[in-house]
Amino acid sequence: MARRIFAIVTMGLCLLMFTAVAAATASNRSATGTWKLNLAKSSYGKMPAPKFEQLVVTTDQPKAVAWKLTGASADGKTYISMYNGPIDGNYHPMTSSETGDTVAYTRTSSGIKWVTKDKKGTVISQGTNELSADGKTLVIKGTAQGPSGWESFVSVFEREQ
């Protein structure tokens, strides 16, 4: 009987320690902060690369995310996009100076998977966001509807704050 109690207590302590380590890891790997696009490390296929992008993530929780992206396109036109909502696999409005898109986010073991649709309900981009192990680099990989059809892209953001 004493061995059984010892085993249960030991198992409980291990689970508690695992939970504490997982929570610490999760908090250290938060994308919350200010990010700047590194154009030299990014690629956009045949799509024109932006001149500048800054991403500010204000919420990065298991079931919610909030962010604001400001940038300048290849022709110098500025833009802003924002999202503040759930990560639940359902489509929700995304505020943008360019279009009135919707986005669906799903949390994965390595980051976030997303799909955006335009006002007509047509998928216009999809991809993943992955935070590096050290929390200093955020890589957004995906495909988007470009001038020559679907194009793959990789946007590499580096943490500023």
**Domain co-membership, 94 together with 152:** yes
Tens of pLDDT along 29-43? Answer: 799 999 999 999 999
In sequence order, which residues have a C-beta less than 8 Å from that of residue 142 and are 6 or more positions away?
Answer: 114, 125, 126, 127, 128, 152, 153
**Domain co-membership, 13 together with 39:** no
CA–CA distance, 44 with 155 (Å, rounded to integer): 8
Contact by Cβ (8 Å): 118, 93:
no
In which element (H, E) is residue 133 found?
A: none
**Domain co-membership, 98 together with 108:** yes
**Domain co-membership, 21 together with 35:** no
**Domain co-membership, 39 together with 21:** no
**Domain co-membership, 45 together with 114:** yes
Neighbours of 113 (CB within 10 A): 18
CATH label of the domain that carries residue 100: 2.40.128.20
**Domain co-membership, 63 together with 102:** yes
53-77 b/e (C-beta count within 10 Å ≥ 16 → b): bebbbeebeeeebebbbebeeeeee
Looking at residue 97, its pLDDT comes to 63
CA–CA distance, 95 with 43 (Å, rounded to integer): 25
CA–CA distance, 75 with 101 (Å, rounded to integer): 22
Tens of pLDDT along 84-115? Answer: 999 999 999 998 867 668 999 999 988 999 99
**Domain co-membership, 63 together with 111:** yes
Q: What percent of the chain has pLDDT over 70?
A: 80
Closest CA to 130 of 160, 107, 103, 161: 107
The residue segments making up the domain with residue 3 are 1-29
**Domain co-membership, 55 together with 7:** no
**Domain co-membership, 24 together with 40:** no
Number of domains the chain contains: 2
**Domain co-membership, 139 together with 103:** yes
